[in-house]
Amino acid sequence: MRKVFLIITLMLLMAATQAEARGVGTSAANFLKLGYAARPAGMGSAFVALADDINSLEWNPAGLSYLAPDYFDAAFEHVFWFGDVEYEILSYAQHLGESYGGGLQVLYRHMPDIDNNLVDENPQNVFDLAWVLGYGFQVSNFAVGLNLKFIMSRLGPEDVFGEAADLGLLVHFMDNKISAGLAIRNLGPDIKSDSLPLNIRGGVGYRDLFGEKKEHAINAALELDQPLDNRLNLRLGCEYWYMKTIAVRVGFCQQLGGNDLQSDNFIHHMTGGASVCWADLQLDYAFVPYADLGGTHRIGMILHYGPLSDDIEKY
């Protein structure tokens, strides 16, 4: 347990060196803020303590060490955002050994060209890219993880580059029914004098299997999410699986100390989602509302392929 406290202390100290007084929304590379994966988004984005699949690349890289042995996961996610802005995400993750795993990810945000008001200027091409390399490993009942990010943003004729890192920690108790997670995202140097969207998330999770044949599964989480250029968020989420085939999700998010979107409607704080699995394929969907701005949709497809040892034995 001393090792866990030491790791937490070091992670928070690293975050503190970059935590400065900032106004709302002043970060560079703000496309890294979005929670794009459909499964976590349907649970109110409360996932830092439940990360155990390919979505760990976004939420907590320590979860990469809990990937299923002898399988690999490949995923595609699409996000319909506001103003014709869309996100495309390709991911790959694999169990690499007895107690560690890794993954790769490409995140692409794009939008229609922006018209330039100057008569002689062409429309400006705008997009953002991030390449992510992640690794997680277990030590006893806890795991640690690291993501390295390489960032590129284009606005017209100008390309801007940057680097960032994520740190993650997971601890499991009571035969893995209870877990606690901590993730610090987007540590790194400024990009053109603007700070990266540093974010600290901590939470607890609960897992249980029940039924005569253990055909029912429930996962629940509570999380605090502190972006250092905005207010603290409270997040709650729950998902129910039947026969590892169908899942439904519900989540809740409340910004503490006020809501930037100025909505008092409880429904505007709720999220929802579902999954359907067929053979090795999992289809995910999530709906996330943003008060008067409307709702956003996330669609994901994950391929769980394996056992790899069966393919190796064929040759």
pLDDT the model gives residue 34: 83
pLDDT the model gives residue 193: 78
pLDDT the model gives residue 21: 42
pLDDT the model gives residue 23: 47
pLDDT the model gives residue 218: 97
Beta strands in 111-211 (DSSP E): 126-139, 142-155, 158-173, 178-187, 199-210
pLDDT the model gives residue 41: 96
Q: What is the mean pLDDT of residues 81-102?
A: 92
- Contact criterion met (CB below 8 Å) for 278 and 301: no
The rounded distance, in Å, linking the Cα atoms of 50 and 32 is 20
Whether the pLDDT of residue 144 is over 60: the answer is yes
For the chain, which domains are there? Answer: 2-11+35-313 (2.40.160.60)
- Contact criterion met (CB below 8 Å) for 61 and 145: yes
Q: What is the mean pLDDT of residues 84-101?
A: 93
Q: How confident is the model at residue 87 (pLDDT cuts 50, 70, 90)?
A: very high
pLDDT the model gives residue 313: 44
CB burial of 112-144 (b: ≥16 within 10 Å; e: otherwise) equals: eeeeeeeeeeeeeebebbbebebbbbbeeebbb
pLDDT the model gives residue 27: 65
Q: What is the mean pLDDT of residues 159-168?
A: 95
Backbone angles phi, psi at 13, to 5 degrees: -65, -40
Q: How confident is the model at residue 235 (pLDDT cuts 50, 70, 90)?
A: very high
Assess whether the previous peptide bond of 112 is cis (omega < 30° from 0): no
Whether the pLDDT of residue 7 is over 90: the answer is no
The end-to-end CA distance of the chain, in Å, is 45
Alpha-carbon separation of residue 18 from 14, 48, 144, 202 (angstroms):
7, 21, 21, 18
pLDDT in tens, 175-232: 989 999 999 999 999 888 788 999 999 999 999 999 988 999 999 999 999 998 888 9
The mean pLDDT of the chain is: 86
Q: How confident is the model at residue 158 (pLDDT cuts 50, 70, 90)?
A: confident
DSSP of 7-38: HHHHHHHHHHTT-----TT--SSGGGG----H
Percent of the chain with pLDDT over 90: 61
The rounded distance, in Å, linking the Cα atoms of 152 and 159 is 7
